C-alpha cells in the first residue's frame, strides 16, 4: 500500500510516496518527468548495497551517471560540491535533465544544493535511504553544506520534485543508524504528537528494528505528515518551523565540537533535547515526569542523554554561530509537555551552567 502526502510550497507542490518495495517501480514514477539523462548522487555505503541494482534499473531506459561520494558528514563540504559540478558538466547535464539523490541526509543536502545551483537550478528527486532522511531531511527543501565554523552554514531552500521512501531499504540499516533516525521520530512525538509518543511507548527497539514491515511505514508517515504541516506554514524557517530544531542548537554544537566523529546527528540531538529539558526542569518550567519520559524513550532507542563536555565553553562558541542566534537573541525550541513544543526567545546564557530564568524572558 502506498502512503502519499502532497506538500504545498510557494513554487508548486510535490509528493512524498511511502511504500515497501517502491524502488522496484521507480521507472514508473519517473515517467511523469520528461528528461534524457539522470545523474545519481549516492555514497559509498549505499552504493555497496544498492548501487549496481539502481544503476542497471535506470540505465535500462535512460543515460545514467552515478556519482559516489564518501559516506559521512565530512563529505558535506565545498570540495565535494565542486567535484560534482565538474562531473555534471562532463556528463553534459542540461536544464531538462534530473538529479536523483540516493542516500541519507548528507547525500540529500549535497544533491539539493548542487541541483539548486548547477545551471541556476535543475530538478532533483529524493530517495532517502536512512531513517533520519526519510522522516526529516528529505522533506522541506533545506539544502546545505558544512564549513569549518559549523554545520549547514551554507545552503538554501530548494524543493525536490518528488520524495520516494522505500521502507525496505531500512532493513540494511545498522542498528546505530536506526537509533539515529529514532531520535528525530522521538523529537516529533515530544514537540507535536502525543499519539506518536504512545505508539513509541508501547513499542521497543527490537520490535521496530527487526520488523521493519510492521509499523515503520505508519511511523514514517506520521513524522512526514507533522513535517508537512510545519513546513507548509513556515517554508523558509522564519518562525514556527524552528520547533523542528528542538535539541538541535546544542546537538549541532556537539557534532561540530567533535568534528562530526563522536556522535551521529541523532545521538547529538538526543543529548541536546535532554539538556534543554533538564534546564527547563531546573528552572521549574516542566515537571520531572517529562524529563523521565524523555530519558526512558532515549534509553529504549539506545540514544545517549549526556556528554561530559556539555558545559565546555568551546561548545558555546559553536552555539554563537547558530543560525537561530540572531543578534543577541537566540530562538530556542522547548517542550512543555509531551506533544507541546514551543519556541521561546532566549539567549546563549540558557545553555550555561548557571542558567536562570532571566535568559528566557528577553
Ligand atoms: N530539519 C529541520 C528542518 O527541516 O527545518
Residue 155 beta carbon below 6 angstroms from any ligand 1 atom: no
The ranges of the chain annotated as CATH 3.40.50.1970 are: 3-172
**Closest CA to ligand 1's atom 3:** 244
CATH top class, domain 175-360: mainly alpha
C-alpha to C-alpha distance for 249 and 219, rounded to whole angstroms: 25
Q: Of all atoms in ligand 1, which is nearest to the CA of residue 230?
A: 5
pLDDT of residue 323: 61
Task: Extract the residue ranges of the chain whose pLDDT is less than 50.
Answer: 362
Please state the pTM of the whole predicted model.
0.94
Q: What is the CATH number of domain 3-172?
A: 3.40.50.1970
pLDDT of residue 355: 53
Percent of the residues in the chain that have a pLDDT greater than 90, as a whole number = 83
Mutate to test the pocket of ligand 1, among 9, 135, 137, 139 (most ligand atoms within 8 A of CB): 137
pLDDT of residue 362: 43
Q: Of all atoms in ligand 1, which is nearest to the CA of residue 241?
A: 5
pLDDT of residue 327: 64
236 CA → ligand 1 middle, Å: 10
The ranges of the chain annotated as CATH 1.20.1090.10 are: 175-360
Mutate to test the pocket of ligand 1, among 140, 157, 333 (most ligand atoms within 8 A of CB): 140
pLDDT of residue 259: 87
Residue 140 beta carbon below 6 angstroms from any ligand 1 atom: yes
Residue 67 beta carbon below 6 angstroms from any ligand 1 atom: no
Amino acid at each position: 500500500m502506498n502512503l502519499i502526502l502532497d506538500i504545498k510550497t510557494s513554487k508548486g507542490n510535490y509528493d512524498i510516496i511511502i511504500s515497501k518495495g517502491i524502488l522496484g517501480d521507480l521507472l514508473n514514477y519517473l515517467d511523469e518527468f520528461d528528461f534524457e539523462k539522470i545523474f545519481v548522487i549516492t555514497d559509498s555505503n549505499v552504493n555497496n548495497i544498492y548501487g549496481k541494482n539502481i544503476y542497471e534499473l535506470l540505465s535500462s531506459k535512460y543515460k545514467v551517471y552515478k556519482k559516489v561520494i564518501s559516506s559521512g558528514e565530512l563529505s558535506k563540504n565545498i570540495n565535494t560540491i565542486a567535484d560534482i559540478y565538474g562531473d555534471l558538466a562532463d556528463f553534459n547535464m542540461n536544464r531538462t535533465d534530473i538529479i536523483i539523490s540516493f542516500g541519507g541526509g548528507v547525500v540529500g543536502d549535497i544533491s539539493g544544493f548542487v541541483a539548486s545551483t548547477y545551471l541556476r537550478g535543475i530538478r532533483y528527486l529524493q530517495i532517502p535511504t536512512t531513517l533520519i532522511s526519510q522522516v526529516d531531511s528529505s522533506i522541506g527543501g533545506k539544502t546545505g553544506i558544512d564549513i569549518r565554523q559549523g554545520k549547514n552554514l551554507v545552503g538554501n531552500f530548494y524543493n525536490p520534485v518528488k520524495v520516494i521512501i522505500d521502507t525496505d531499504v531500512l532493513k540494511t540499516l545498522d542498528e546505530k543508524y536506526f537509533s539515529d533516525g529514532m531520535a528525530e521520530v522521538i523529537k516529533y512525538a515530544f514537540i507535536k504528537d502525543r499519539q506518536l509518543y504512545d505508539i513509541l511507548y508501547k513499542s521497543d527497539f527490537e520490535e521496530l528494528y527487526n520488523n521493519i514491515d510492521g509499523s515503520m511505514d505508519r511511523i514514517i508517515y506520521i513524522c512526514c505528515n507533522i513535517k508537512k504541516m510545519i513546513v507548509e506554514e513556515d517554508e523558509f524557517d522564519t518562525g514556527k518551523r524552528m520547533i523542528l530544531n528542538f535539541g538541535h542548537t546544542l546537538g549541532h554544537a556537539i557534532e561540530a565540537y567533535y568534528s562530526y566523529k563522536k556522535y551521529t546527528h541523532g545521538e547529538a540531538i538526543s543529548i541536546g533535547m535532554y539538556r534543554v529539558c533538564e534546564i527547563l526542569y531546573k528552572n521549574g518550567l516542566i515537571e520531572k515526569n517529562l524529563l523521565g519520559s524523555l530519558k526512558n524513550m532515549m534509553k529504549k532507542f539506545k540514544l545517549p542523554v549526556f556528554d561530559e563536555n556539555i558545559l565546555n565553553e568551546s561548545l558555546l562558541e559553536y552555539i554563537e554561530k547558530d543560525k537561530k542566534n540572531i543578534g543577541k537573541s537566540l530562538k530556542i525550541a522547548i517542550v512543555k509537555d509531551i506533544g507541546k513544543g514551543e519556541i521561546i526567545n532566549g539567549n546563549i546564557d540558557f545553555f550555561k551552567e548557571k542558567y536562570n530564568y532571566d535568559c528566557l524572558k528577553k
